[in-house]
Amino acid sequence: MTTYDTEMIMPLAVAITGTRSTEHRELIWYADTFSTYLAPFAAADARFYIGGAVGIDTLSLLWLAGNSQARIIVVVPGTVQDQPAEARQAIEQCRDRITDIVELRAAVLKTPAFHARNRWMVDHSHMVIGFPLDNGGPGSGTWQTIEYGASQGKPRLIVPV
């Protein structure tokens, strides 16, 4: 059996990346968007890697926990305790649906730590689903993650929000 054969029979693993700025849309818009763009990949044996931040991370975590049987892995650059209160609350609320929490334990929580977290998620995934801010620039963490997925030859689904 080749590596290609093994990858074809392994359950799909998806990295989710997205903006922290989500207040410009109603929650129902995100629910509808996730139903359209996450649900088709959310088979019971699928894995979703989600950063533990606010915004798309928190919204997608809540949606997946309530609307799928897929495995959910939350990845944080430091520890869960380092995350904003809203993100910690979402993680706690979904704890019974979270398969694993990966704490990368970065000593300093600045841009390099978040980029390392994003690369870790992409490295463990087969594809990237990105929800960048519609008018956001290419220098954002979301675009950095999408571009890293491209450099790895991984499929990307980009859904501007």
Q: What is the pTM of this model?
A: 0.92
Average pLDDT over residues 19-48: 97
Q: Is the pLDDT of residue 5 over 60?
A: no
What pLDDT, in 10s, does the model give residues 136-160?
A: 666 788 999 999 999 999 999 999 9
- The CA distances from residue 85 to 19, 54, 80, 89, 147, in Å, are 17, 9, 10, 6, 29
Length of the chain: 161
Q: Dihedrals φ, ψ of 106, to 5°?
A: -60, 140
What pLDDT, in 10s, does the model give residues 109-124?
A: 999 999 999 999 999 9
In the CATH scheme, what architecture does the domain 3-158 have?
Answer: 3-Layer(aba) Sandwich (3.40)
pLDDT (0 to 100) of residue 4: 46
Q: Is the pLDDT of residue 135 over 80?
A: no
Average pLDDT over residues 83-107: 97
Q: Read off the tokens for 136.
A: 């956001």
DSSP readout, the chain? Answer: --HHHHHHHSPPEEEEEE-S--TTS-HHHHHHHHHHHTGGG--TT-EEEEESSSTHHHHHHHHHHHH---EEEEEESS-GGGS-HHHHHHHHHTGGGEEEEEE---SS-SHHHHHHHHHHHHHT-SEEEEE--TT--TTSHHHHHHHHHHHTT--EEE---
pLDDT (0 to 100) of residue 11: 87
The pLDDT confidence band at residue 9, using thresholds 50, 70 and 90, is low
The domain segmentation of the chain, as residue ranges, is 3-158
Q: Read off the tokens for 66.
A: 């309530």
What pLDDT, in 10s, does the model give residues 35-78?
A: 999 999 999 999 999 999 999 999 999 999 999 999 999 999 99
